[in-house]
Structure 1
């Protein structure tokens, strides 16, 4: 699971549609297929009724109620229904950028890959719950009340995140991923102590170079960045809930140099620790 991708994923919803019999009749003479030589829009879909198939660049995938599927950008795709009744589904047209933020500056990147780091088809387990979320998104888009685009983005992000989690759960048996998750838990319990990469690689039982590569792939950041995030989260809690001095807070969360702690804290939160305490 490429969490580094999803930590930068910034979508924009272009349209939300409900596809039914009229859609199929408008697509082909037989009224059962929709073909695209090269998809011009990114499309994310959820099947609510019927069954069918989606073929992407020659690879065929079955669809049924509860299937989430998408068209990779600029790909040859065909979707068809195989049930007696036309397959019905919600369709979200969207685009996205990849946003990188280091605390002081933002970089906006165009995606280099045509596909999301997800399977073309994912079968959800909680079909009713997922259907409710898709209907909420559809209704929100149709009503177009104040802030509907912002709310649609939030809903769509939540929906994509559910699919991401399902995919991650199905791959939970992967030994390397489990080793990295174990290391992340170790950091959460030992953040106040000095933590070296060699020690963390030992916890994961991986070589140092491979550990660093896989940690970023699973966690979405480097081990050092993750340690800093955990320490700063704990520091924020202490600043808000305790009477410890800034220097004492720094040492409590693993920073031996209070001045360095203050610089790191300010670069990540936008204000020094003392100001944050008053905010």
Structure 2
């Protein structure tokens, strides 16, 4: 995570305006190893902008009051706390001056060979089958803060991981995997009651609803111009891949199909409730060519725009 970021409201405003440039990092860009790395705050300069990455990440705050933002939610990040970040989640952390922390990065298949779940599938994965995903899925809903004895154990695990990583040899990766699972499992156990309740109520669906709301709002505000999947995803604090999957799952449509349907719905409303010329309505919903707009409208509603307007007038 290792980021300093502006306040959530300022960041959301910048993203909605298209100013955000949310980079997706590969393991090779943020780690010296392609499978696993643990480092402290002195190992490399932090990223100071919103970002996402293709790998799993855990950050442990050893000292200094901080906060972090994940999927647009601002959450406390005090000393003796952990943050779990799923691949492709937009996130950032704001550290206090002179922070002390560990960052753990590990590839998606590090704990399970052949692990191939998409981000959306990770959220829906069976707890019994993938228990290690639980704190990652519900980060942002649970504050993973620990008391002193609990965090003392966590620090022991972190130091063990750092020592093992620094002197890798035959058999070391197996020990790293075991220690990492102990860290994830211990954090889950300490917050088991809250995680179990969230899992049973499928609270992640609320997050999807909020995300779709941000998607709809952004698109409705920018229908008059070309809109790309990437910029919508940035405005909604999602990865393009996740947004594509979410729309397909929720609506049965690909992004372009869903966007076109949204344009057509707005055009129908304007035809029914305004006296604007068809050419002006076409431009208002993102079509520079009136004839092309008319063809698409007829394909969508079974009649050209002018005939639809006439039918509405007759029915009033």
| TM bucket, shorter chain | 0.3 to 0.5
TM-score, scaled to structure 2: 0.41
If asked which structure has higher relative contact order (CA below 8 Å, sep 6+), I would say 1
TM-score, scaled to structure 1: 0.46
